[in-house]
Amino acid sequence: MLHKKMKRTLPVWQAVIAVAVAGAITACSDGSDGPGIQLPDNDFSAPPSDCLWVGPYVKENTGFNFAYPDSGAIYWSAAYRLPEAGAYITLEADFPFSRYMSYNSYREDTSPAQSLTDRNIVPAAGSINPFVEGNSRSDPYRRYVVSILSGQPPAAGEPVESNTLYDATAVAGEQAVLIYRNYVPNMGTDQTGDVGLPRVTLHLPDGSTVQGEEACAALSVGTEPLSIPLVPADIYQFHRDNFEPARNPPVFRATYGIPFLLQCDYRGDCTDNPERNTRFYANADNQYLYSFLNREIAEVTVIRARIPEIPETLEGQEFFSEGELRYWSLCQNEFYSQAVKECLYDEQVTINPDGFFTIVTSKPEDRPDNANGECGVGYLPWTDKGDGFSFIEGRSDDPNSAFLILRNMLPADDFEEAIQNTSVAGDEAEVMGEYLPRASYMSRAEFEGLGCDPYLALPYDAM
């Protein structure tokens, strides 16, 4: 089958949502000698504060499908303003029953400022971090507290305080943006991984604290989705009218920012060596490949490559083990609107006997009969609106266009073929080897003519 056979299993513990306002958290950990935060048993110190979080950003939530989300993940944003200099917030939560979680802070240009990733968070006293290799993923004591401070994050090479994230603001009253991510919740759990959303405490310079709804009011918390950056419509219209970004065969490139994408993919000038500058509220723990497709070339695109070793977690596996990557996915997107149609992530992909996957993307009405799990083929439906340019009033879609995004998350130090190790535009094949997707255009009839197990007729080296 395309999706690995799964049992619906509930985790052995459900989060205790006991509201016990027990005052401020006054101790913090220096990260050197284990956790220093003592919390009362399994009760939360802060009341629920869902008022802080906007979302979830998922394709099913109308108005929240933008910034190229991954359908294997759930996102919530928090936009707030500290009321005075010296104020800061803490977030108290349980580690979710999921593959991955993190906090990212963002600059005004929507580029990541700093990330605080699950495995680097020190748990509260008496708790464990289930994202540390070898720890039980079902342990019920999984509390942590993180501090969000104003200012710029430490420069590369400078000491990093444990459980601390800087929000990249310069002065009190400037808007800060956080995104909380939860990837691949265990089967049978909710979107939060059965632990709810992090609970906020506002700490004021005089030592007093404010929690819950009162904290949200004091923080002037935003209640609308984040504003998304877009290529100016006239600039995009000019490029779309005069250049074709899709290649035959399709080309997968590492991301170096939208200006270089327009220069390279549209105008055909890939000679610069730009710095990597990924915006659109990207996850600092990920790096990305992308490819433009055009179904005027052919109805069907077939993609093959290897998938790195990934930890399996979906069925609530008891112990956490690191792999070559933490997460891998391939998504079908509308380039202009940034909407995702669908993704396939690592545990959803069948690996053919030759060690490579085979994934087909097409309009649903053009889906080949053998593009199914029984024949060892994954399937991604083509985007609904092509490039999604009708997102702008008065503009029209190009229904033949599509935009693939491939993610690599948290590569192991010795996994040299990760996207993160590309550094110069055009070095993807040299760095990634057989983990770089190769793709071919075919008609529906041509692909169906390959029969079941079409991988036999599609050797990676010949694509």
Residue 274 in any domain: the answer is yes
What mean pLDDT is predicted for residues 51-76? 95
Determine the pLDDT at residue 270: 94
Rounded CA separation 117/140 (Å): 20
> Which range marks the domain in which residue 139 is found?
50-218
Pair 122, 194 in one domain? yes
Residue 56 has pLDDT above 90, yes or no: yes
Determine the pLDDT at residue 400: 97
Rounded CA separation 139/130 (Å): 7
What mean pLDDT is predicted for residues 124-146? 95
Tell me what percent of the residues of the chain surpass a pLDDT of 90.
85
Residue 23 has pLDDT above 50, yes or no: no
Angle at 435 between CA 277 and CA 3, to 5 degrees: 105
Residue 20 has pLDDT above 80, yes or no: no
Residue 12 has pLDDT above 90, yes or no: no
Pair 208, 287 in one domain? no
Residue 328 in any domain: the answer is yes
Distances (CA, A) of 460 to 43, 54, 101, 299, 307: 54, 43, 34, 20, 13
Pair 188, 304 in one domain? no
Count of domains for the chain:
2
Pair 342, 251 in one domain? yes
What mean pLDDT is predicted for residues 367-372? 98
Determine the pLDDT at residue 42: 61
Residue 38 has pLDDT above 70, yes or no: no
Pair 198, 327 in one domain? no
Pair 170, 307 in one domain? no
Determine the pLDDT at residue 451: 98
The lowest-confidence range among 39-48, 140-149, 187-196, 339-348 is 39-48
Pair 211, 242 in one domain? no
Pair 174, 72 in one domain? yes
Residue 112 has pLDDT above 90, yes or no: yes
Pair 112, 175 in one domain? yes
What pTM did the predictor assign?
A: 0.90
Pair 359, 328 in one domain? yes
pLDDT tens, residue by residue, 284-301 = 999 999 999 999 999 999
CATH number of the domain that residue 166 is part of: 2.60.40
Residue 282 has pLDDT above 60, yes or no: yes
DSSP-derived letter for residue 227 is P
* Through-space distance between the first and last CA atoms of the chain, rounded to whole angstroms: 24
Residue 2 in any domain: the answer is no
Pair 202, 237 in one domain? no
**If pLDDT is split at 50, 70 and 90, which confidence band does 41 have?**
low
